[in-house]
Amino acid sequence: MRKAINDEKALQHQLKQLTRKERTHRLCTRGGMLESFLQEPERLTDDDVMLLLKLIFHRQDTQELLKKLLEREKPETP
């Protein structure tokens, strides 16, 4: 019984690590995508980028596109 509990804890820990690595990869990839569209990104502060994103994502056309993208059928994970 103790071994089963320890095995379950180990599997839960492994799942958390994989989820964290997946999230980190996604954040780095998407951050790189954003930076590729910024002119002189090193001159912009985090607040500048946040202001720009707020303005872009509060536009009606952006909201409509985002809604359409989220309504798509989710791809199955292997």
Q: Which residue's structure tokens are 């590729």?
A: 36
- Entry pTM: 0.66
For the chain, the residue count is 78
pLDDT (tens digit per residue) in 21-54 = 999 999 999 999 999 999 999 999 999 999 999 9
* Type of residue numbered 11: L
pLDDT (tens digit per residue) in 4-25 = 888 888 888 888 888 889 999 9
Helix axis angle for 60-71 and 46-57, nearest 10°, is 80
